[in-house]
Amino acid sequence: MNTESRPRGYLRRVIGSLRGTLSLGWIALVVIGSFLAPWLAPHDPLEQDIDHAYAMPSGTYWAGTDSLGRDILSRIMHGGSVSLLGAGEALLVAVAIGVPLGMLAGYRGGVVDAVLSRIAEVVMSLPVIVILLAVVAVYGRAFTITMGALGVILSASFIRLARATTEGKRNELYVDAARVSGLGHLRIAVRHVLPNITAPLLIQSTLALSSALLIQAGLGFLGLGPEPPAPSWGSGIADAAKYVNRDGWLMVPTGAVLILTVLAFNSLGDALRDATAHAAPSVERRRRVTSSGGTRSDPGHLLDVDGLRVEYPGRRIIDEVTLHVEAGEVLALVGESGSGKTQTAFSILGLLAPGGRITAGGIHFDGSDLLALPDKKLAALRGTRMAYIPQEPMSNLDPCFTIGSQMIEPLVVNLRIGRAEARRRALALLARVGINEPERVFRSYPHEISGGMAQRVLIARAVSCEPSLLIADEPTTALDVTVQAEVLDLLRDLQRERRMGIILVTHDFGVVADIADRVAVMRNGRLVEEGPVGEIFASPSHPYTKMLLDSSLEGREPRKELRHV
């Protein structure tokens, strides 16, 4: 069984990083100070010293006092246990509901998957604060019930994440072996699937904790937290806001602790991402083609690039590159910046920058000689049969036009359909790529959506005309770890559904391990090694490939089992 998701191993790597050490250190300080506040706090949090109201930090009151002369530090420490317990309760409820349901959806698929996915989408579309205000209106200041309701809302994100990761694991060979050996579905899910999806769940948990802390503080700020005069971080910020014109310092201690704690949880998630991002994948014996200049492709492949040479004035940037892509295959084009990956992709698309020209070689796509095609026919292929996903999603959406108009345009032009039909297809595509409110996003301008959502829009636009070949240039570089995983899952699903060939331009071997079937390694414009992903990882033959793997993987365990190809 793959052991990529052993939490103990992750913890060792997190502690070994500066970011992880600082994050865990601050979280530990807050936890200890909060839950040991009855013994460690310098004062009673309810004790008033009117003569010293609005006092600045001193030897007696380390963080100063509030408007009633109460020690701010003691109130922060005592309030911390309330805030942390509330966030922890919300997380436990979210995990207890979301992970089992998500695993059930991902493992069973079919109607179960469809129903649970729709439920998750509905829950994620709910306005959190409005729902919690309704809960408070019905149950009053029942803090436990309010945090439980928050956990139910947060569970939707765990359902989606657990579903996506489980779906990627259910067809692994070790799961098939467990089925053949007679193990039941429940045992397989608990013993063979759950340990292998722990990493993204841990990362999502840190994000859920930070969100719960902020939402809880918001409720306290609105006066809907624990009954006063019991301290909490939200009520402390609310009290400070009343007298901010009288004494601006009141806002600083509680606000700083809340901000630093939220940042610590987010930073911990980043450290966990780094700890699981690169790993040495497991090995299967495969056939590999090693090349210093490429191997000639066989006819019948979806794409054949043979002896490609590209020059700009005074410089040759691509030299004798030969590769191929088959229908339904993912080829990862890997190398450092400046190695020629993107220029190779642009050569295939016929989109070289001014001054660039192909001086030798051939490019054949589905039997057509791309270099012999007139510009008009090549442009028609780019719009329908070949598609491209750029690296920077926000800069590739026109800020002057809505998302809807930019989705409709290629459909109308390339498929020659009416705008009403194009609008219907565009909305369906936005929903297919995981956008929960396609109508709202359709009407939005690029600056009104997030980077991750913009990337999904570009993916939807790229596949809108059902291309046979998709070229994705670093599609996850600018995204956070959770969105990155979702985008890779989306690309994998679309590739399987439409049997697209994909060229994935990347420098991240963790992404290669996740999605690629074969790897082509480039250096200084040349193809130095090519082969199935498992064998390249297991025994690279070129020194440059070994250097890239050593610098990227650093002996870490894999994020996922390599797919057998």
Q: What's 486-513 look like in SS3?
A: HHHHHHHHHHHHHCCEEEEEECCHHHHH
Last residue of a domain, one of 245, 277, 309: 277
Do 22 and 166 fall into the same domain?
yes
Calculate mean pLDDT across residues 303-321: 87
The angle at the Cα of 520, spanning 517 to 523, to the nearest 5 degrees, equals 155
Sequence-distant (≥ 6) Cβ neighbours of residue 18 within 8 angstroms: none
Question: How many beta carbons lie within 10 A of that of residue 16, not counting itself?
Answer: 11
| Residue 164 counted as domain residue | yes
* pTM for the model: 0.50
Angle ∠(47,52,55) on CA atoms, nearest 5:
110
Closest CA to 332 of 192, 531, 553: 531
| Cα 166 versus chain centre, distance | 16
C-alpha torsion 54→60→63→67, nearest 10: -20
95 sits in the region (left: phi over 0; alpha: psi -120 to 50; else beta) called alpha
CB distance 77 to 37 below 8 Å: yes
Place of tokens 């001054």: 355
- The reply to whether 260 and 401 lie within a common domain is no
Residue among 144, 136, 156, 145 nearest 94 (CA): 156
Cβ(517)–Cβ(330) below 8 Å: yes
Residue 517 maps to a domain: no
Tell me if 524 is assigned to some domain.
no
- 52: Cα separation from own chain's centroid: 49
Structure tokens at 123: 């829950």
> Would you state the pLDDT for residue 407?
82
DSSP state of 189: I
Name the pLDDT band for 90 (thresholds 50, 70, 90).
very high
Q: Is residue 320 part of a domain?
A: no
Q: Which amino acid does the sequence have at 306?
A: D
Q: What is the pLDDT of residues 250-306, one digit of tens each?
A: 889 988 999 999 999 988 888 887 776 543 333 332 223 333 333 334 455 888 888
Residue 355 lies in a domain: no
Q: Confirm whether 130 is domain-assigned.
A: yes
Q: How far apart are CA 312 and CA 356, in angstroms?
A: 5
Distance, in Å, from the CA atom of 511 to the CA atom of 484, rounded to the nearest integer, reads: 9
- Tokens found for residue 254: 């509680």
Average pLDDT in the 374-381 region?
Answer: 76
Amino acid at 164: A
Residue 266 sits in the same domain as residue 397: no
Position 181 pLDDT exceeds 50: no
107 burial (CB, 10 Å; 0-12 / 13-18 / 19+) is: buried
Nearest alpha-carbon partner for 345 in 318, 366, 326, 368: 318
Residue in 103, 180, 164, 270 with CA at minimum distance from that of residue 560: 164
One domain, residues 269 and 397 = no
Paired strand residues for 527? 522
Query: 422, 438, 466 — which closes off a domain?
Result: 466
Q: How would you class 165 by CB atoms within 10 Å of its CB: exposed for 0-12, middle for 13-18, buried for 19 or more?
A: buried
Q: Report pLDDT for 30.
A: 92
Alpha-carbon span 84 to 97, nearest angstrom: 20
pLDDT tens per residue, range 218-236: 888 887 777 777 788 888 8
Place 478 in a pLDDT band, splitting at 50, 70 and 90: low
What distance in Å separates the CA atoms of residue 428 and residue 423, rounded to the nearest whole number?
9
Q: Tell me, what CATH number does 99's domain have?
A: 1.10.3720.10
Q: What is the pLDDT of residues 9-35, one digit of tens each?
A: 556 777 777 888 898 999 999 999 999
Last residue of a domain, one of 250, 277, 304: 277
Q: Report the percentage of the chain scoring pLDDT > 70.
A: 85
**DSSP, residue by residue, 233-297:** HHHHHHHHHHTTTT-GGGHHHHHHHHHHHHHHHHHHHHHHHHHHH-----------B--SS--PP
Shared domain check, 264 and 127: yes
Tell me, yes or no, whether 142 lies in a domain: yes
The pLDDT value given to residue 32: 94
Query: How far is 317 from 352, CA to CA, in rounded Å?
Result: 12
What is the strand order of the sheet 357-365 is part of?
Answer: 315-325, 303-312, 357-365, 368-369
Predicted pLDDT of residue 307? 87
Full residue range of the structural domain in which residue 162 is found: 7-43+74-277
Q: Are 309 and 360 in contact (CB under 8 A)?
A: yes
Whole-angstrom distance, CA of residue 324 vs CA of residue 301: 7
Given pLDDT bands bounded at 50, 70 and 90, which one contains residue 7?
low
Q: Check if the beta carbon of residue 89 is closer than 8 Å to that of residue 148.
A: yes
The span from the CA of 513 to the CA of 491, in Å, is: 14
**Considering only 122-131, 198-207, 544-553, which range has the smallest mean pLDDT?**
544-553
Could you tell me if residue 256 is inside a domain? yes
Residue-averaged pLDDT of the chain: 79
Do residues 534 and 283 touch, judged by C-beta distance below 8 A?
Answer: yes
What confidence score (pLDDT) does residue 198 get? 84
More confident residue, 10 or 2: 10
- Residue 256: name the closest of 400, 405, 73 by CA: 73
What is the count of structural domains for the chain?
Answer: 2
pLDDT per position as a tens digit, 53-81: 888 898 888 988 888 888 889 899 998 88
